[in-house]
Every structure is written in structure tokens, then in C-alpha cells.
């Protein structure tokens, strides 16, 4: 509760005993016994029965803060549970009012905060979405091609084309509404919606494709406008008709660019004007269909409503190379593609989650109704062919037997032009049929201007808006902000429109746009389906009227229609998607938006892991799944690199870190810090990381041995560094180290110990989170080089620059060296399997594996032959086997393996509770000491990991 009499920046909390505690900005608290007076600082201490819990608040979940006040911050669990007598600073979560006291802020800050930053223009669902979408849908096709499409396909088939297009856009509108209401929508439009749903890879692809489609649509709508202007200027010809259209179009696009650059307020006012003009033109057209036809209009094919004309025009009348269902569909479909005009300016809407669904669906409904009405009325009033000559009438004396066409029923004979294919009028020939039907033709011309210019303006604004997001002070690029692609907004849209404008032909541009819009809608519907099918708890759209299966069906239909329309354009569209997808996957943008791809990956991994429970283990499918006792992975890079060579793209690797000490916040932070995983990713090591906090090392490792992994994906081999300082360290430390190895054997783990002559540990020995039991002593201090650039943070976590990470011997190409395997004892075959896995790596592929086995002197050759035959049955590719006695094994190692790339030795096992730990440690030390190559001591768990059977 806030005390209104207090002038300082305090946030007060009512405690369970009725008292109130307040925190100021310095972090110290004031005590309020009865809420009316301030006690001296620190005069009252918190008791164990009081809580600092805060009630739910918007700021706890918001990513941004409102102007003029600081955000509330939820106290951490550690702070809530802290000892009330602890003198550490209490949790600071405070709020200051929008009006700051003069004495609390500097004069400079006061000047800056006198006024909030200017708020950009925001629109509601009618002006911002519905009208904008309707204007973008009512484009050039409505006035200049819909009558012609009706003549080609007939009224019935035209309705099928309109309803099919509306089904695609309607389902896409439902999917868009679901995505748009699944959280707070910012700027960036379609790109923002899809990228936050499917991730940056597909988001970037669909963003660029949709922006490109809108830029081409600018050209299409401007061509329609320029065609109309050129028709009005028939008397005045600048060059020729084609170039006149280009000149008019370039001037028009340039003017539209100026309007859009002037700001959204001007653009919105222009759209309202265009909307009014279109409504008036519709009214003029409807009135014109009712007014009785004049002889001049009859000569051009208009006879008002006639049942005979409706019947004749109801069936298709295909003509020309575009004369097919999908040919007409490809030309009409762009007229239904303005449904995302509102979503693309999501950053300029007052309430996008309400405006986008309501405005988009209402726009689809009303425009669909208008298309159906216009196609039905024009098909009921105008014949397909007419000459426009007033003398082509049937006289009372002439016979109608040789008359061709529907107009014969109404006293007109257009047979000659029909036979010759020279009819200039009728809905099959005259694109301006709506103007001819209208009560006042100039209003239809004005409507054409309004529809084409409004659609072109909306597309010109939508293309850059896909990549933009509004800030209070600057206009930044959304894709630039996300580090995906760079886009020069309006200029690129302008240039793209001009390039495609050179085509001039409306019937050529429309199919190209259709494919790109269909591709965009396919990805949008797939995004909705994918987000729904993953069952992620984060998918909670407030818009419920959608179906994931309808979205999937619509996505499939979009792909099928794309290839039915223009197969090569479909391949280009998907090629662009795949190229951009590959580019973003290669760049790997460091963004995390909680996409459905992440949720899907989790579902797949979970289902596969659970499915493994039904699969019994088999020796043929054995994989060494390694738990590596690295401590902080950056402290033992050689151990990490060796195991990575064994497990990369093959099996599980998990780096384990035991932080010794009490369960404190710093200890938990050290154990669970993301810096460890980041270091592994920077080193391109495919490994998991698991940190635990324990009282001492052995108990912590025991936690890892028993708790690491998931189902059957769990470690079965423990790898550790050799404890070189066992002589100088305490006997208890050595006992603990050997005890870890015994614990692993007790839990049926295989055990490997790596020893390097120069040591493994490259970390500073004073770091508390580095496990001293793995590798320690003064020897390891000398391995820290001045060029390793190790930085120790305040939380004792090590971070090493990716480019400056210390190299190890296991990262180098080994050349034609040898991997010497001393298979002293049969441990189930792990000693042989690990070297074989190494040779499957590029950097170890040229190494020759030599196998040394122990035996009796008089049976040397016989035992060598037996082992060689056994190895051949294992199909490991090892052909070099030597027999010797291992009484003086270390001397043999130094004699035979001084130049080896790696020495692998079967590790002897000491009897638990019988063999003293120091004696066993000395045994391992003498076996592996003073060897220049790395030494890997390996001991399987005495169960077979190799087999020569096929079942």
C-alpha cells in the first residue's frame, strides 16, 4: 500500500502482522509500525512470520516499462526465504510516480521528462484493418477483369473461383487471427507473427516473400490505373499506348511513394477518401443495372436484367490461351489477397489482438459478397459479344434465322463481328464494361482510380511494414533488429514495383503474384497448424474460431494450386524459401522467441525417449554414453575434446560439474550457469551439461552417476582426469578419488581415466567451482598460458572467447601415427571399441591401431593368433597384434609407444576394501607416468560391448 503522504520513492508492503515495510531506492528499509509514522532505520527487524511477497502485477510479466515510472520487480525465491536477521540488502522492487519531485532529479533529467515521447498515430479495427483490407482487396481486378472472368468462366464457375479464393483467404484469416492473438503483437506485421510462431528461419523467408509479393502487387494495381488513364487519353498519345502506360505508371508510383513517406496519418486519410469514392462508384453501378438500357448501351451489349442473358452467361465460354478454370483463378486470386493489409501495420494499431481478427474477417466477408453480386449482375445484364454499332439491329422485315448470339432475342444482330472475332464490346471483349453499365460512367472511372490507387498505396506501405517496427523516437528495421536480413524498405519496394511495371500486361503480372501470395498463405496456415499440433502450453490464442486441420488442409491446397497455376513460378517461390531458410540456418541468428519449432523439437525428443523404453538393450546397438567429470568444461578442454571425438554424432556426452559447499545462491549459480553450455557451443562440442551442488566431491559425483540422463539415454561410461597431485594431497582426497571409481563400478559403469603429461586443468586453482579431485596441484598451474585469455567473473565462472579458446592435442590432425592399445585384461571389449570409434574421425583416420596383449612367453605366437582371429571377427579393421608380458609394462610403453598419438591401456581393478587406495593409486601412477603421448586408462564393466554375431 502506498502512503500518499510520503514524498519519497517508496513502495510499501503490508505484512501479515499488520505492519508495513517500505523500501527506498538505496535498498535499505524503513519500518512503519501502524502505517502512520516512520521509525528509525533498522529499529524494527523482520520476524520469521513476516513475508515480502508481492501481489500479482503487470510489470512482473512485461518486457518494457511505461514512461515516467520504474518497473516493479518480483522478489526472488532466495530473497523471500532469506534469514530476516541477515544484514544483506532486501529485495528492491519499487515504483515511482509519473510526476517526480524537483529535489529527487537533476535539472537535466527534469527537462528530459517534462513531456512523454510523442505517440505515433494508432488506428482502430475499422479504419486500421477492415477498410484497409477491403481497399486492398477491391483492386484493379474488380473493375477491369471481373466482368471478363465472368464471360470466360460463366457466372456459376466464377462463383466457384470467388468462393475458392475466399475459402483460402478466409481460413488464412482465421489462422492469422489465432497467431495474432497469441500474445502482444508489435510492429513487423506478417514477419513478426510468423517469425515468433515458427522461428526466425521461416519467419525471415515468409517476410521477404510477402514483402516481394506486395511490391509486385503495386505494379499490378498501378498498371490497371495507367490503363484507365491511357484509355481516357486516346486522343492525346505521348509515344504509344504501351509506353504511355509505363510513363503514367512511373509518375503514379512516385506520387504514391511520397504519400506513404509522409506518414501513416496522411496515408490513412487518403485511404478513407478512396473508400468513399469506391462506395459511390458501386452505388452508381447498381443503379445503372436497374435503369432501362438506351440504344447506345444496347449496341454495346447491355440490356438490363434478362433471364436469357443470365442463362447464357451462367455456363463457361472459354476463349484464348487463358481460357481455363485455373487460368481464370490465377488472374482473379490476387484480388482476394489483401487480407493481411491490416496485420502488416500491426505496430500502428491500438489493439492488434482485437483489431486484426475482427477487421480481417469482416473485410473478407463484405468483399466476397461484393464480388458475388457484381459477377451475377454483370452476367445478367450484358451479353458476351457486341459490336457497338447502332445499325446492327434486326429490322421487322429481316429474318433472325441466321442471327448468332444472345442479343438476337432482344432485336440486335452481332453475327458479323462474332464470326470475324472483331467485336469490341460485351463482357468478353470490353474491360470497361462496368463503366458502360453505370448510371454515371465517370464515377466508375473514379472508382477504378480509387481502387487501384488505394490497393497500390496499401501494398506500397505493407511491403516495408513487414520489415519495420515503430519506436517512440526512431523507425528501425525489424529484420535488421533481428539480425536476419537487411532491407532498404520503401526504396526496394519502389524499385521492385518499377521493374515489374515494365511488363505492362496485367494478365501476366497477376499469376506471378498469385504464386507468391499462395506461398505466403501456405506458410501462415502451416504456422498455425504447427503451433497447435505441438500442444505447447505457450500456445494460447484468445481467438478460438480456428481449426488446426483446416489450416493444414488450406496449406496443402495452396501448394497444389501453386503448381496447377504455374509450376515454374511455384518452384521459384519454394526455391526462394529454401534459399532463405538455408541462409538463416547458416547464419544462426542468436534470437529466442519460443517458437513452435522449439516446442516440436521437445515433443519429438520426448516421444523418442519414451519410445526407447519399449526397446531392449542389445550388444549390437551398444554406444559409449559418457559422463565426463570436467568440472567447468572450460577448465579441462582436452578431456572435453577427446570425449567429443568419441561421441560426436554417435552417442551421448554429458559434462558433469560438482560444486562443493553449502546450497547457497552463488553455488547454485555456478553449477547451473548458462556460460558452461555457451562455452561448449562456441567450441562446437555436442554435449549436455549437468551441474550439482554437494557437500563434498564424491557424494556429488554419486548424484551424477545415479541421476544423470533420461530413460535409456543415460551414461554408461565415466571419464575423469588423472589425479596427479595424489602424493601431495591429503589421504582423504585420494580415498575419495578412488572411491568415485569404485562407485562407478558398483553402478555398472565403464571407467576411463585420461592422463596428459602437461596436465588437464587450465583453470586457476583458486576457483571454488573447479573440482580439485579431478586434477590439481602445482603442476597444473604451469599449463595456463598468457595467450589463453581466461576471464574470471565475480561468480567464479570461466568464459573464454570463442576465437581464443585454448587448443588441445585432440583438435589436431594426427597424421600417420599409431594408436597403441594395450588390451591387458578382457573387460568386455570397451578397450578395443573406443580406439575404433576414434579412427572413424577425420583427424584420426590415418592412424594405425596396434593391439598389444599380454601372455605367457612359451605360448606367445599361439595367443597372438587367437587374439587376432577374435579381433577379425569383431570387424574392427585392426591387423597389427603383438604379444608381451606386462611385468615391466611402463618400460614397454615407453619403448614401443613413445611416438604414438594415443595410448589406450586396460585399467587394472583393485579389490574394494582389500587393496589400499594409496597402493592402487600408485599402481595407476606407475603404469601411466612419464609418457609423452596422452594415456587413456579404460575399464569396461565386464559386460560385452562387442559381438561377432548378427543377431
- Ranking 412-421, 624-633, 785-794 by mean pLDDT, the lowest is 785-794
- Ranking 233-247, 292-306, 316-330 by mean pLDDT, the lowest is 233-247
CB contact at 8 A, 865 and 848: no
Percent of the chain with pLDDT over 90: 28
Is residue 425, in this structure, part of any structural domain at all?
Answer: no
Q: What is the reported pLDDT for 466?
A: 58
Percent of the chain with pLDDT over 70: 77
Question: Is the pLDDT assigned to residue 124 strictly greater than 50?
Answer: yes
Q: What is the reported pLDDT for 38?
A: 32
- Ranking 251-265, 624-638, 862-876 by mean pLDDT, the lowest is 251-265
Query: What per-residue string of b and e applies to 440-463 under the rule 16 or more CB within 10 Å gives b?
Result: beebbbbbbbbbbbbbbbbbbbbb
Q: What is the reported pLDDT for 187?
A: 63
Question: Is the pLDDT assigned to residue 87 strictly greater than 80?
Answer: no
Highest mean pLDDT among 42-46, 591-595, 666-670: 666-670
Is 217 found in the same domain as 348? yes
Measured distance CA(269)–CA(217) in Å, rounded: 21
- Ranking 89-93, 346-350, 843-847, 866-870 by mean pLDDT, the lowest is 89-93
Measured distance CA(779)–CA(672) in Å, rounded: 28
Is residue 111, in this structure, part of any structural domain at all?
Answer: no
Is 308 found in the same domain as 251? yes
Is residue 777, in this structure, part of any structural domain at all?
Answer: no
Q: What is the reported pLDDT for 264?
A: 61
Measured distance CA(300)–CA(437) in Å, rounded: 10
Model confidence band, residue 797 (pLDDT cutoffs 50, 70, 90):
very low
Q: What is the reported pLDDT for 181?
A: 83
Q: What is the reported pLDDT for 46?
A: 55
More confident residue, 122 or 637: 637
Model confidence band, residue 654 (pLDDT cutoffs 50, 70, 90):
very high
Q: Which of 594, 138, 211, 64 is nearest to 374 (CA)?
A: 138
**Mean pLDDT computed over 656-662:** 89
**Mean pLDDT computed over 608-637:** 88
Question: Is the pLDDT assigned to residue 819 strictly greater than 90?
Answer: yes
Question: Is the pLDDT assigned to residue 788 strictly greater than 60?
Answer: no
CATH classification at residue 252: 1.20.1740.10
Q: What is the pLDDT of residues 517-542, one digit of tens each?
A: 888 888 889 888 988 888 777 788 88
Query: What per-residue string of b and e applies to 31-48 under the rule 16 or more CB within 10 Å gives b?
Result: bbeeeeeeeeeeeeebee
CATH classification at residue 853: 3.40.50.620
Q: What is the reported pLDDT for 777?
A: 41
Q: What is the reported pLDDT for 492?
A: 66
More confident residue, 86 or 814: 814
Q: Give every CB contact of residue 575 below 8 A, 6+ residues apart in sequence.
A: none
Is 342 found in the same domain as 193? yes
Question: Is the pLDDT assigned to residue 62 strictly greater than 50?
Answer: yes
Q: What is the reported pLDDT for 66?
A: 64
Is 659 found in the same domain as 566? no
Q: How many residues does the chain have?
A: 951
Measured distance CA(37)–CA(572) in Å, rounded: 75
Measured distance CA(410)–CA(297) in Å, rounded: 13
More confident residue, 351 or 32: 351
Is 534 found in the same domain as 635? no
Q: How far apart are the first and last CA of the chain?
A: 73
Q: What is the reported pLDDT for 384?
A: 93
Question: Is the pLDDT assigned to residue 580 strictly greater than 80?
Answer: no
Highest mean pLDDT among 45-54, 552-561, 581-590: 552-561
Q: Which three cell numbers stand for residue 302?
A: 447491355
Domain final residue, candidates 587, 613, 648: 587
Is residue 772, in this structure, part of any structural domain at all?
Answer: no
More confident residue, 130 or 182: 130
Q: What is the reported pLDDT for 786?
A: 28
Q: What is the reported pLDDT for 491?
A: 67
Question: Is the pLDDT assigned to residue 191 strictly greater than 80?
Answer: no
Model confidence band, residue 364 (pLDDT cutoffs 50, 70, 90):
very high
Residue with cell 607416468: 929
Is 442 found in the same domain as 349? yes
Q: Which DSSP letter does residue 265 get?
A: H
Is 686 found in the same domain as 543? no
More confident residue, 102 or 526: 526
Angle between helices 506-533 and 189-198 (to 10 degrees): 40
Question: Is the pLDDT assigned to residue 794 strictly greater than 70?
Answer: no
- Ranking 251-260, 605-614, 867-876 by mean pLDDT, the lowest is 251-260
More confident residue, 591 or 552: 552
Is 281 found in the same domain as 168? yes
Highest mean pLDDT among 42-56, 176-190, 227-241, 280-294: 280-294
Q: What is the reported pLDDT for 110?
A: 45
**Mean pLDDT computed over 750-760:** 91
Question: What are φ and ψ of residue 222, in 5° steps?
Answer: -70, -35
Is residue 51, in this structure, part of any structural domain at all?
Answer: no
Measured distance CA(263)–CA(123) in Å, rounded: 13
Question: Is the pLDDT assigned to residue 13 strictly greater than 70?
Answer: no
Domain final residue, candidates 738, 755, 772: 755
Residue with cell 535499505: 28
Is 240 found in the same domain as 140? yes
CB contact at 8 A, 204 and 584: yes
Q: Dihedral, CA atoms, 36, 42, 44, 50, nearest 10 degrees?
A: 100
**Mean pLDDT computed over 242-252:** 83
Is 339 found in the same domain as 470? yes
Question: Is the pLDDT assigned to residue 142 strictly greater than 60?
Answer: yes
More confident residue, 803 or 842: 842
Q: Give every CB contact of residue 362 below 8 A, 6+ residues apart in sequence.
A: 130
Q: Which three cell numbers stand for residue 87?
A: 544484514
- Ranking 154-158, 311-315, 614-618 by mean pLDDT, the lowest is 614-618
Question: Is the pLDDT assigned to residue 353 strictly greater than 90?
Answer: no
Is 663 found in the same domain as 542? no
Is residue 794, in this structure, part of any structural domain at all?
Answer: no
Question: Is the pLDDT assigned to residue 16 strictly greater than 90?
Answer: no
Question: Is the pLDDT assigned to residue 725 strictly greater than 70?
Answer: yes
More confident residue, 458 or 912: 912
Q: How many domains does the chain have?
A: 3
Residue with cell 457486341: 386
CB contact at 8 A, 305 and 381: yes
More confident residue, 723 or 857: 723
- Ranking 272-286, 380-394, 766-780 by mean pLDDT, the lowest is 766-780
For the whole model, what pTM was predicted? Answer: 0.70
Q: What is the reported pLDDT for 279?
A: 92
**Mean pLDDT computed over 794-823:** 72
Is 227 found in the same domain as 364? yes
**Mean pLDDT computed over 267-280:** 84
Measured distance CA(230)–CA(223) in Å, rounded: 10
Q: Which DSSP letter does residue 723 get?
A: -
Name the residue range of residue 524's domain.
125-392+432-474+503-587
Amino acid at each position: 500500500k502506498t502512503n500518499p503522504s510520503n514524498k519519497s520513492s517508496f513502495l510499501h508492503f503490508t505484512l501479515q502482522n499488520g505492519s508495513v515495510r517500505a523500501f527506498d531506492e538505496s535498498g535499505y528499509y524503513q519500518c512503519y509500525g501502524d502505517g502512520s509514522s516512520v521509525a528509525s532505520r533498522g529499529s524494527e527487524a523482520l520476524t520469521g512470520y513476516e513475508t515480502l511477497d508481492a501481489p500479482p502485477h503487470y510489470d512482473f510479466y512485461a518486457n518494457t516499462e511505461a514512461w515516467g515510472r520504474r518497473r516493479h520487480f518480483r522478489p526472488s525465491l532466495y530473497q523471500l526465504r532469506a534469514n530476516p536477521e541477515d544484514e544483506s540488502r532486501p529485495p528492491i522492487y519499487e515504483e515511482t510516480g509519473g510526476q517526480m519531485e524537483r529535489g529527487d532529479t537533476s535539472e537535466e533529467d527534469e527537462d528530459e521528462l517534462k513531456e512523454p515521447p510523442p505517440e505515433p498515430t494508432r488506428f482502430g479495427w475499422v479504419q486500421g484493418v477492415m477498410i484497409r483490407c477491403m481497399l486492398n482487396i477491391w483492386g484493379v481486378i474488380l473493375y477491369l477483369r471481373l466482368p471478363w472472368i465472368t464471360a470466360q468462366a460463366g457466372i456459376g464457375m466464377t462463383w466457384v473461383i470467388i468462393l475458392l479464393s475466399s475459402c483460402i483467404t478466409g481460413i488464412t484469416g482465421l489462422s492469422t487471427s489465432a497467431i495474432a492473438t497469441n500474445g502482444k503483437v508489435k510492429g513487423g506485421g506478417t514477419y513478426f507473427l510468423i517469425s515468433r510462431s515458427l522461428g526466425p528461419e521461416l519467419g525471415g523467408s515468409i517476410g521477404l516473400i510477402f514483402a516481394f509479393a506486395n511490391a509486385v502487387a503495386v505494379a499490378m494495381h498501378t498498371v490497371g490505373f495507367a490503363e484507365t488513364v491511357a484509355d481516357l487519353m486516346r486522343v492525346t498519345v505521348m509515344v504509344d499506348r504501351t509506353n504511355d502506360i509505363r510513363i503514367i505508371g512511373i509518375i503514379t508510383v512516385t506520387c504514391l511513394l511520397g504519400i506513404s513517406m509522409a506518414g501513416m496519418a496522411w496515408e490513412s486519410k487518403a485511404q478513407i477518401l478512396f473508400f468513399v469514392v469506391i462506395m459511390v462508384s458501386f452505388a452508381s453501378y447498381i443503379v445503372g443495372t436497374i435503369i432501362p438500357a438506351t440504344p447506345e448501351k444496347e449496341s454495346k451489349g447491355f440490356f438490363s436484367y434478362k433471364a436469357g442473358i443470365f442463362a447464357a452467361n451462367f455456363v463457361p465460354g472459354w476463349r484464348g490461351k487463358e481460357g481455363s478454370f485455373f487460368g481464370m483463378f490465377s488472374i482473379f486470386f490476387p484480388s482476394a489477397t489483401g487480407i493481411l493489409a491490416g496485420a502488416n501495420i500491426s505496430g500502428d494499431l491500438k489493439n492488434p489482438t482485437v483489431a486484426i481478427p475482427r477487421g480481417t474477417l469482416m473485410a473478407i466477408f463484405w468483399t466476397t459478397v461484393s464480388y458475388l453480386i457484381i459477377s451475377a449482375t454483370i452476367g445478367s445484364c450484358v451479353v458476351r459479344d457486341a459490336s457497338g454499332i447502332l445499325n446492327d439491329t434486326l429490322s421487322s422485315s429481316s429474318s433472325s434465322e441466321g442471327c448468332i448470339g444472345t442479343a438476337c432475342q432482344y432485336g440486335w444482330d452481332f453475327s458479323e463481328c462474332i464470326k470475324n472475332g472483331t467485336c469490341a464490346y460485351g463482357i468478353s471483349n470490353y474491360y470497361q464494361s462496368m463503366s458502360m453499365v453505370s448510371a454515371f460512367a465517370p464515377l466508375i472511372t473514379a472508382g477504378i482510380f480509387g481502387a487501384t490507387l488505394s490497393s497500390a498505396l496499401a501494398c506500397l506501405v505493407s511491403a516495408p511494414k513487414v520489415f519495420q517496427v515503430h519506436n517512440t523516437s526512431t523507425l528501425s528495421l525489424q529484420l535488421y533488429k533481428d539480425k536476419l536480413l537487411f532491407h532498404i524498405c520503401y526504396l526496394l519496394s519502389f524499385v521492385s514495383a518499377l521493374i515489374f511495371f515494365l511488363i505492362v500486361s496485367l494478365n501476366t503480372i497477376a499469376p506471378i503474384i498469385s504464386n507468391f501470395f499462395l506461398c505466403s498463405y501456405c506458410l501462415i496456415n502451416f504456422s498455425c497448424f504447427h503451433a497447435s499440433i505441438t500442444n505447447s502450453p505457450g500456445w494460447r490464442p484468445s481467438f478460438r474460431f480456428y481449426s488446426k486441420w483446416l489450416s493444414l488442409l488450406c496449406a496443402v491446397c495452396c501448394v497444389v494450386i501453386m503448381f496447377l497455376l504455374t509450376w515454374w513460378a511455384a518452384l521459384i517461390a519454394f526455391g526462394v524459401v529454401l534459399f532463405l531458410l538455408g541462409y538463416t540456418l547458416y547464419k544462426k541468428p542468436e534470437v529466442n522467441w519460443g517458437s513452435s519449432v522449439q516446442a516440436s523439437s521437445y515433443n519429438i525428443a520426448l516421444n523418442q525417449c519414451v519410445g526407447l523404453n519399449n526397446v531392449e538393450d542389445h550388444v549390437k546397438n551398444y554406444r559409449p554414453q559418457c559422463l565426463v567429470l570436467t568440472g567447468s568444461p572450460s577448465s579441462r578442454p582436452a578431456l572435453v575434446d577427446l570425449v567429443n571425438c568419441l561421441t560426436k554424432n554417435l552417442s551421448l556426452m554429458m559434462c558433469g560439474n560438482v560444486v562443493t559447499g553449502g546450497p547457497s545462491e552463488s553455488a547454485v549459480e555456478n553449477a547451473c550457469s548458462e556460460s558452461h553450455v555457451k562455452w561448449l557451443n562456441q567450441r562446437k562440442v555436442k554435449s549436455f551439461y549437468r551441474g550439482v551442488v554437494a557437500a563434498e566431491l564424491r557424494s556429488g559425483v554419486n548424484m551424477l552417476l545415479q541421476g544423470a540422463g533420461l530413460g535409456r539415454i543415460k551414461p554408461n561410461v565415466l571419464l575423469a582426469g588423472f589425479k596427479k597431485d595424489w602424493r601431495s594431497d591429503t589421504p582423504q582426497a585420494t580415498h575419495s578419488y578412488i572411491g568415485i571409481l569404485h562407485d562407478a563400478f558398483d553402478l555398472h559403469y565403464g571407467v576411463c581415466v585420461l592422463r596428459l603429461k602437461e596436465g588437464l586443468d587450465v583453470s586457476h586453482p583458486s576457483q571454488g567451482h573447479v573440482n580439485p579431485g579431478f586434477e590439481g596441484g602445482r603442476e597444473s598451474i604451469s599449463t595456463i598460458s598468457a595467450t589463453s585469455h581466461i576471464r574470471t567473473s565475480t561468480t567464479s565462472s570461466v568464459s573464454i572467447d570463442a576465437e581464443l579458446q585454448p587448443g588441445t592435442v585432440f583438435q589436431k590432425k594426427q597424421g600417420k601415427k599409431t594408436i597403441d592399445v594395450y588390451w591387458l585384461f578382457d573387460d568386455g571389449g570397451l578397450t578395443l571399441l573406443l580406439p575404433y570409434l576414434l579412427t572413424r574421425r577425420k583427424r584420426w583416420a590415418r592412424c594405425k591401431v596396434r593391439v598389444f596383449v599380454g601372455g605367457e612367453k612359451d605360448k606367445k605366437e599361439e595367443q597372438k593368433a587367437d587374439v587376432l582371429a577374435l579381433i577379425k571377427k569383431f570387424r574392427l579393421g585392426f591387423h597389427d597384434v603383438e604379444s608381451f608380458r606386462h611385468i615391466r609394462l611402463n618400460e614397454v610403453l615407453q619403448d614401443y609407444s613413445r611416438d604414438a598419438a594415443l595410448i589406450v591401456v586396460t585399467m587394472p581393478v583393485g579389490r574394494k576394501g582389500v587393496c589400499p587406495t594409496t597402493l592402487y593409486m600408485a599402481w595407476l601412477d606407475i603404469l601411466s607416468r612419464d609418457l609423452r603421448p596422452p594415456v587413456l586408462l579404460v575399464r569396461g564393466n565386464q559386460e560385452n560391448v562387442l559381438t561377432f554375431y548378427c543377431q
